[in-house]
Structure 1
Amino acid sequence: MDVTRRHFIQISGATAAGLAVSGLGFDLRPVKAHAQMLKTKYAKETISICPYCAVGCGVIVHTSKKGDGRVINIEGDPDHVINRGSLCSKGASLAQLTENDQRVTQPMYRAPYAKEWKKVSWDWALTEIAKRVKDTRDSSFTFKNAKGQVVNHTTAIASVGSAAMDNEECWIYQALMRALGLVYIEHQARI
């Protein structure tokens, strides 16, 4: 690459200006620390546990004291024995659970071949889910296998558990799935 006189003067001028400004003592670290302090200075601090998996990482949740309880900041708890202040990508995005304006807050349904989702009531959604599970289970339930052994299961329904459930919720969930006769019971953490 050939350096022209004009290009050399531009680079030299920019370098000289950068060196002059850096020597004036501008250090933005205190400003950044002050800005972070202001974000949580007047907030209520609550120590909690991340809901996403069974690891149980500690988090510190800062909520507004203005009465609206709005989440201002969530960070890892440096004193927690498991995560020592670090959070995975899911834990780091915990504030999105309440503060995301695109968060779905009620049941949505998209009919087969439809392009749009529509809002439905909880009563309709739960009734429809129960009806479809019962219809599928009843039409595919196997009482005995080819050898005549009692199996009492269905292979037409599978279950993928949620990482947002604690151990007790997982136990209840798998007990329900086994009572329905499911044999394909999996958990999100293994996938």
Structure 2
Amino acid sequence: MGVKRWLDAWPVFRQLTGTDPLGRGKAAQSARSAGLGSRTESADRVAGSVCPYCAVGCAQRVFVKDEKVVQIEGDPASPISRGRLCPKGSASKQLVTGPQREQRVLYRPPYGTAWQELDLDTAMDMVADRVLDARRKGWQDTDEDGKVLRRTMGLASLGGATLDNEENYLIKKLFTALGALQIENQARI
């Protein structure tokens, strides 16, 4: 490597001899970083979404390439978050694309030591049977004074912060219709 080429590769030399005396632009940029591009510029399309974590409702821009999510950022057009996301919202790409995300239904039977894979229809039927059974066993039609209650103490709901507002609304409606009283969300606790 010649002296001139070595000097050009040295950021301090580029800073002192170039048009970037403060070293905040091209002078500080390496050849490798000059060739890099953002994940968003190669995206095929951008879909609008809402952050799934809390009830604030920050808007997100989901960048998709080859039908796979490549980046999720805050939407600057949002009057709520103005393009900003909290640390959980910024990491929501992991929720969608993380390798640890299960893509199948797993079930561990009572006293079982291993997980079994179930098809979705079987799992949904098991959940429905158990919900109806718990509702029936905990049902209180009236209290000891004959006052009408029409509630169940056999069900409760604790929503998670990964559910969006619409899902939490539907869960609240469902559990209220089932007669449950204990309906709470992690975001309020």
Q: Taking structure 1 as reference, are residues 51 and 70 closer, same or farther at Cα in structure 2, changes over 3 Å only?
A: same
- Which residue of structure 2 aligns with residue 24 of structure 1? 13
The residue aligned with 1:130 is 128
Deviation per residue, 1:1-52 (Å, 9 max, x gap): xxxxxxxxxxxxxxxxxxxx663346138964752x3422221233332233
* 1:23 counterpart SS class: helix
After TM superposition, the score normalised by the length of structure 1 is 0.74
Q: List structure 1 segments (4+ residues) > 4 angstroms apart after TM superposition.
A: 29-34
SS of equivalent to 2:39: helix
- Could you list the runs of 5+ residues in structure 2 that have no partner in the other structure? 1-9, 15-26
Per-residue deviation at 1:99? 1.6
For residues 136 and 98 of structure 1, what CA distance do their matches in structure 2 show?
Answer: 33
* Alpha carbons of structure 1 residues 185 and 62: separation in structure 2 relative to 1, 3 Å: same
- Gap runs ≥5 in structure 1: 1-20
Counterpart mapping for 1:30-45 below 5 A: 32=33, 35=36, 37-43=37-43, 44-45=45-46
8 Å contact kept, 2:51–2:164 = no
Deviation at 1:162, TM superposition (A): 4.0
State the 1:53 CA deviation.
Answer: 2.7
Superposed CA RMSD:
2.4
In the superposition, the TM-score normalised over structure 2's length comes to: 0.75
| Residues 31-88 of structure 1 deviation map (CA, whole Å, 9 limit, x = unaligned) | 64752x3422221233332233332212222111xxx311111112233221122212
Aligned residues with identical type, % of pairs:
37
Question: Residue 73 of structure 1 aligns with which residue?
Answer: 71
Aligned counterparts of 1:30 and 1:88: Cα–Cα separation in 2: 32
Deviation of the 1:165 alpha carbon: 3.0
Paired positions, count: 166
- Structure-to-structure mapping, 1:1-191, within 5 angstroms: 23-25=12-14, 27-28=28-29, 32=33, 35=36, 37-43=37-43, 44-64=45-65, 68-163=66-161, 164-167=163-166, 169-191=167-189
